[in-house]
């Protein structure tokens, strides 16, 4: 069984109003990751991704690029090891 990894990330740049949450949800589903994504009131996007370590790394690489209309300036890992998650959801803005 592959080592599991959970990351809590903050994505900055022009990442709201460009389909970033849908992009994250679609990619997480494609990669079979658990977690969630939401916009933040400060203009950033926050997300948690959980799954095999190598697949989480692929997701982080995709987040650094973002959807076509996004301009990602930073993807910071702000935490690791956030419990056990099931499925992937888009959460309300916080």
Residues labelled as active-site residues? 21, 39
Please answer whether residues 47 and 82 qualify as being in contact, where contact means their C-beta atoms are separated by less than 8 angstroms.
Answer: no
Please answer whether residues 81 and 21 qualify as being in contact, where contact means their C-beta atoms are separated by less than 8 angstroms.
Answer: no
**Distance from C-alpha of 19 to C-alpha of 22, rounded to nearest angstrom:** 5
């Amino acid at each position: 069984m592959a080592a599991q990894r959970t990351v809590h990330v903050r994505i900055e740049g022009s990442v709201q109003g460009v389909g970033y949450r849908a992009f994250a949800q679609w990619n997480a589903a494609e990669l079979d990751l658990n977690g969630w994504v939401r916009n933040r009131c400060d203009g950033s996007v926050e997300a948690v991704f959980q799954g095999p370590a190598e697949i989480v790394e692929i997701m982080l690489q995709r987040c650094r690029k973002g959807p076509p209309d996004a301009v990602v300036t930073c993807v910071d890992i702000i935490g690791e090891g956030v419990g056990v998650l099931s499925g992937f959801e888009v959460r309300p803005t916080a």
